[in-house]
Amino acid sequence: MFSSNHSSFHDIFVQYGATLHYGIDYVMNGWSKAHFDKQNSAGWSNDFHVYGVEWTPEYIKFEVDGEELGTVTVPEGGFYELGEFETDYPGTGNPWEGQANNAPFDKEFYLIMNVAVGGIGCVQDRRIK
């Protein structure tokens, strides 16, 4: 966590996001259909918070401090349908065809909890010329 007496840095810590990254490869990634964010004008760095993920075969729900941030409901056509891959990338084919509707989230894997600081112009690095 970054701290500074400079008042403009308060604005950095006001957003929390939750995203499912899924797709055929890193270019064909359906994350934009499974992304949620929440603003906190008091900032997220002033207190501890409880982050939650409820993961079932029918949906994946994100929470912060007991409040729902967003839910990704698995459609009948699965994550291939949700990602609109056939529309955006015609002819690519469904890599999860014949698998459970919640594929690729039907298997065990690791969750990544990421802390990131940045954005366009919000943190100046004077070493970059």
Nearest to 94 by CA among 105, 107, 81: 81
The predicted structure's pLDDT at residue 126? 64
Q: Which residue has the tokens 């401090």?
A: 65
Residue 62: inside a domain, yes or no? yes
The predicted structure's pLDDT at residue 118? 60
Residue 97: inside a domain, yes or no? no
Residue 83: inside a domain, yes or no? yes
Residue 36: inside a domain, yes or no? yes
User: For the chain, what is the domain count?
Assistant: 1
The predicted structure's pLDDT at residue 128? 60
DSSP character string of 18-62: EE---BSSSSSB-GGGSEEEEE-TT-STTS---EEEEE-SSEEEE
pLDDT (tens digit, 9 = 90+) per residue, 70-121?
Answer: 999 999 999 999 999 999 999 989 999 999 999 999 998 888 877 766 656 5
Provide the domain limits for residue 68.
Answer: 9-88
The predicted structure's pLDDT at residue 44? 77
The predicted structure's pLDDT at residue 10? 44
Residue 55: inside a domain, yes or no? yes
pLDDT (tens digit, 9 = 90+) per residue, 19-68?
Answer: 999 998 889 999 999 999 888 877 777 888 898 999 999 999 999 999 99
Residue 77: inside a domain, yes or no? yes
Indicate whether 12 pLDDT > 70.
Answer: no
Question: Half-sphere exposure (CA, 13 Å, Cβ side) for 93?
Answer: 3
Type of residue found at 33: K
Q: What is the pTM of this model?
A: 0.76
